[in-house]
A and B are shown apart, each in its own frame.
Chain A
Amino acid sequence: MLFSLAYRNLWRNGRRSLLTLSAMIVSLALLILALSIFSGMLRDILASATEQYHGHLVISEGDYQENHDLYTTLAETDLPLIERLADSDQVTGLSPRLRGYGLISHTDNSYPAELLGVHPSQEAGVTSLQRQLVAGSALNDGDDRGAIIGETLARRLGVKPGAELVFVTQAADGSIGNDLLIVRGIFKTGDSAHDNGLLLVPLGWLQRTLALPGQVHEVALAIADPMSAPETAARLRPLLPEGVSIVDWGTLLPQMREAIASFDVSRMIFSVILYFATGLGVLNTLFMSVMERTREFGILMAIGLRPGRIRLLVLLESILLGLLGASLGVAGGLVLCALMRDNGLDLSAWITPISYAGGTLPPRLHTVLELRNLLDPTLMLLLTTLIAGVFPARRAARLQPVAAIRMD
């Protein structure tokens, strides 16, 4: 009956409760929407940063990721094991890579460049370079000397699809490695480091040119939830052969990790400010309600309700208010998120893509609903209402029955 009494007490002053409830619903729904837009922005910027080059996780020999030493390659015998380990629902793409640095030339123009040797179809499961073509076509797995090249580098070299390129480098056996490439396509990422100096070439071609047959420098992985990359790395790490290391995108892109951490702090500050205001509203409602019922609490005490139960009664009222506000707020938030999930809000008429922390933020606001975008604000709202209920509950429980009954 205490529960029923608490519920009925909520509607004694229906207008006041409804006003407080609507403040809670609107604040929760808008917070869920805002956090989901944040998540959409993070997803976009992280995707642009990781899917343009690194992938979400990279497995390599020893300290290759620090010094990019030509000779630090994964043993051929390790590759089947790595592929088996990575064969899980979580891993959505896997691409063995060999990296080479040298001069790329066309007619009289030469520029330093980085060549990433890949199996084109496997690389497409990890990075999006082949989907960002502005001219020509992507590489085929059967193509043994094709290349796709960054847009700025192509412009400097003066090449178009079909043009021949010459690559010169020092091979692993000490010889001068050089060979012809044919431009198949030109990509543009918006990231100057890639557009100025990166080429994707067939893995077999680069292995021959660098005299590293059957060897790769790294295996890049894409996973379903990029934010869980550290946990996936930690799970795979002990299963890898000795001397082989795995790093996540946070290690490869520390500035992106910092950016995301700062986003998290912003989310928290945003939530706290919003709920501070909401909490004051709830506190006001409950305090007024307790003040108005002082005499009634005195009567309840007189007929034998323990002070602890008086406290519980008021807390139940605040919890019920919180649960009602949370359920309706979550429903409202879900509707708003659904409305902005697919199409979102296109801002391209007003702003251009923004490069930030190694990623690119497109001029579009859309929502990505993550569980924590629902759970965090909902739990915070419930906690806020509970805290707001503590003071009125304590006051009600501390009333002296005689004094309370005398109150009009």
Chain B
Amino acid sequence: MSLIALRNVTKIYTSGSQHIAALSELSLFIKAGDFAVLAGPSGSGKTTILNMVGALDRPTEGAIAVDGVNYDDLSSRQLADFRLHRIGFIFQSYNLIPVLTAAENAEFTLLLQGIAPAERRARIDELFERLDIAELKNRRPGELSGGQQQRVAIARAIAPKPAVILADEPTANLDSHTAAELLNLMRELNEKEGVTFLFSSHDPQVIAHAKRVVRLRDGQLENDVRQPL
């Protein structure tokens, strides 16, 4: 059974009298443990898919289910809970909360999940060790480099143990060396922990790291290939 299932999904954005189809009757299935990238040029529908899989947006037509949950009829509060427990986000521009320290940023979702303070701290300590940012715990985002911020963002996404991590152009603002480091790190998490990743990117480096490459063009599936690593 697929962890993520998009069935005949169409998404039309309306701007005034204009209707723009971002996705047209697209079907896509991602299995648990996958490390897949949505590749394609700007406007091909990558971010639209991530937004809908992440329960941030709804399809105009078609159905989406993640981890067996079809969230068509969920309220905004239920959607927030769904995201909290099942989805982890990594954004292109990190989007950490500037007034919180690195550890507090990563801990925030655990706090929302109601996890006890001792367990929260233990989980964050372990993650920060693994991500090699243990010494940065008490720094605020403004005191961190782009790569360090993205590591904190990864910690924040992984900490609540979501069903899938959605990463929208996660290396776009990083130099190639840092980007490669982070991709290796995410790949390691995928292989050792079985964390499912779904990226959007047109960066060849990201595409080269993916187990599966789903190419999109004009809101439709162009091809879908598994690649040996």
Are A and B subunits of one complex? yes
Interface residues of A (CB under 8 A from B): 1, 5, 8-9, 11-12, 295-296, 299-309, 401-402, 405
**B215 lies within 8 A of chain A by Cβ:** no
**C-alpha spacing A319/B185, complex, angstroms:** 43
Contact assessment for B85 and A299 in the assembled complex, using a CB-CB cutoff below 8 Å:
no
Point out the residue from B81, B83, B113 that lies within 8 Å of A302, measured CB to CB.
B83
Specify which chain B residues have a CB less than 8 angstroms from the CB of A405 in the assembled complex.
Answer: 56, 91, 95
Contact assessment for B54 and A302 in the assembled complex, using a CB-CB cutoff below 8 Å:
yes
Point out the residue from B83, B84, B89, B108 that lies within 8 Å of A1, measured CB to CB.
B108
Contact assessment for B77 and A303 in the assembled complex, using a CB-CB cutoff below 8 Å:
no
- State how many residues of chain B have any CB contact under 8 Å with chain A: 28
Contact assessment for A304 and B80 in the assembled complex, using a CB-CB cutoff below 8 Å:
yes
The 26 sampled A-B contact pairs (Cβ below 8 Å) are A1-B100, A1-B104, A5-B99, A8-B100, A295-B95, A299-B89, A299-B91, A299-B95, A301-B80, A302-B54, A302-B89, A303-B83, A303-B109, A304-B84, A304-B85, A304-B113, A305-B80, A305-B112, A306-B77, A306-B80, A307-B76, A307-B77, A307-B80, A401-B57, A402-B51, A405-B95
- The secondary structure that dominates the A interface is helix
Please give the distance in Å from B172's CB to the nearest CB on chain A. Answer: 15
Question: Which residues 52-102 of B have a CB within 8 angstroms of A?
Answer: 54, 56-57, 76-77, 80-81, 83-85, 87, 89, 91, 95, 97-100
Please give the distance in Å from A212's CB to the nearest CB on chain B. Answer: 81
Nearest residue, chain A, Cβ from B82: A304
Specify which chain B residues have a CB less than 8 angstroms from the CB of A307 in the assembled complex.
Answer: 76-77, 80
A8-B99, A302-B83, A303-B84 are known; give 16 further A-B pairs, CB within 8 A. A1-B111, A5-B99, A11-B99, A12-B99, A295-B95, A296-B97, A299-B95, A299-B97, A302-B56, A303-B156, A304-B87, A304-B160, A305-B84, A306-B80, A308-B77, A402-B51
Point out the residue from A11, A299, A302, A304 that lies within 8 Å of B112, measured CB to CB.
A304
Please give the distance in Å from A298's CB to the nearest CB on chain B. Answer: 8
> Which of A303, A306, A307, A405 has the most chain B CB atoms inside 10 A of its CB?
A303
**C-alpha spacing A304/B112, complex, angstroms:** 8
Please give the distance in Å from A395's CB to the nearest CB on chain B. Answer: 14
**C-alpha spacing A402/B57, complex, angstroms:** 7
Would A304 and B56 be within 8 Å (CB), given that A8-B100, A299-B95 are in contact? no
Specify which chain B residues have a CB less than 8 angstroms from the CB of A296 in the assembled complex.
Answer: 95, 97-98
Specify which chain A residues have a CB less than 8 angstroms from the CB of B84 in the assembled complex.
Answer: 303-305
**C-alpha spacing A11/B99, complex, angstroms:** 9
**C-alpha spacing A92/B80, complex, angstroms:** 65
Please give the distance in Å from B138's CB to the nearest CB on chain A. Answer: 14
Nearest residue, chain B, Cβ from A2: B111
Specify which chain B residues have a CB less than 8 angstroms from the CB of A305 in the assembled complex.
Answer: 80, 84, 112
Contact assessment for B95 and A9 in the assembled complex, using a CB-CB cutoff below 8 Å:
no
Please give the distance in Å from A367's CB to the nearest CB on chain B. Answer: 41
Nearest residue, chain A, Cβ from B76: A307
Specify which chain B residues have a CB less than 8 angstroms from the CB of A309 in the assembled complex.
Answer: 112
Specify which chain B residues have a CB less than 8 angstroms from the CB of A300 in the assembled complex.
Answer: 97
Specify which chain A residues have a CB less than 8 angstroms from the CB of B98 in the assembled complex.
Answer: 12, 296
Contact assessment for A9 and B99 in the assembled complex, using a CB-CB cutoff below 8 Å:
yes
> What 0/1 pattern do residues 103 to 115 of B give for CB contact below 8 A with A?
0100111011100
Specify which chain A residues have a CB less than 8 angstroms from the CB of B87 in the assembled complex.
Answer: 304
Nearest residue, chain A, Cβ from B85: A304
Would A5 and B100 be within 8 Å (CB), given that A301-B80, A302-B83 are in contact? yes
Please give the distance in Å from B105's CB to the nearest CB on chain A. Answer: 10
Please give the distance in Å from A6's CB to the nearest CB on chain B. Answer: 10
